[in-house]
């Protein structure tokens, strides 16, 4: 007497199974997004200079603090510009390369600053919405050649980091749009109807 109910029971189980798979996909997308966010937040704070295998360029220079030039060891990595004392690997300051707005050699800047004081110096400006809050850094190289090299290295790698960040944001937008579609009632209803159609 219950034989005629068996197809309907199988249909119901099939619909539930498909909806569970959809929910699982959505949870996986959310989990991946949360992992990406956690990773990027953790990358903001670096306590010590990385090993040689992670360094793109290392150089000694001087950083302007309260009107006085202080010796610093500067390291460029794939994502950061790090500053430490010459004889200590403890990071005193850092800039995410993607947050560098522009880099200029002070000899090419038209202003009223004392050019002798800023000899062989590089100006590094950061974006106001970044972690460094729009702060401007001044770094003095040991020679005109070093000044050009520092400026060039920072320019090239900051632009590369900015392109990388833009790609991340585009991918995050795609993830978000896909998640909105998966969670919509229209998508859930369409999925259920397509599953039902398979039984007829």
Q: What confidence score (pLDDT) does residue 55 get?
A: 93
Tally of CB atoms within 10 A around 75: 23
Tally of CB atoms within 10 A around 98: 20
Q: What confidence score (pLDDT) does residue 176 get?
A: 65
- In 124-148, which positions are buried (b, 16+ CB within 10 angstroms) versus exposed (e)? bbbbeeeebeeeebbbbbeeeebbe
Inform me whether the pLDDT recorded for 135 exceeds 90: yes
pTM of the model: 0.60
Q: What confidence score (pLDDT) does residue 5 get?
A: 44
For the chain, the C-alpha Rg in angstroms (whole number) is 27
Task: Kindly report, residue by residue over 151-181, the tens digit of the pLDDT.
Answer: 999 999 999 988 887 776 665 666 666 676 6
Task: Kindly report, residue by residue over 4-35, the tens digit of the pLDDT.
Answer: 445 444 545 555 555 555 555 545 444 443 33
Tally of CB atoms within 10 A around 5: 9
């Amino acid at each position: 007497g219950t034989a005629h109910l068996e197809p309907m029971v199988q249909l119901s189980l099939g619909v539930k199974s498909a909806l569970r798979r959809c929910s699982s996909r959505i949870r996986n997308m959310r989990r991946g997004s949360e992992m990406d966010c956690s990773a990027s937040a953790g990358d903001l704070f670096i306590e010590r200079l990385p090993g040689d295998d992670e360094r793109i360029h290392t150089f000694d220079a001087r950083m302007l603090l309260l009107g006085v030039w202080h010796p610093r060891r500067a390291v460029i990595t794939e994502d950061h510009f790090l500053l430490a004392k010459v004889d200590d690997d403890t990071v005193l300051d850092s800039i995410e390369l993607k947050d560098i707005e522009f880099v200029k050699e002070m000899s090419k800047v038209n202003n009223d600053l004392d050019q002798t004081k800023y000899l062989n110096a590089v100006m590094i400006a950061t974006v106001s919405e970044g972690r460094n809050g729009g702060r401007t850094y001044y770094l003095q190289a040991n020679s005109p050649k070093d000044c050009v090299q520092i400026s060039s290295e920072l320019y090239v790698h900051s632009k590369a980091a900015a392109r990388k960040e833009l790609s991340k944001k585009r991918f995050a937008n795609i993830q978000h749009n896909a998640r909105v579609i998966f969670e919509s009632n229209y998508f859930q209803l369409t999925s259920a109807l397509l599953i039902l159609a398979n039984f007829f």
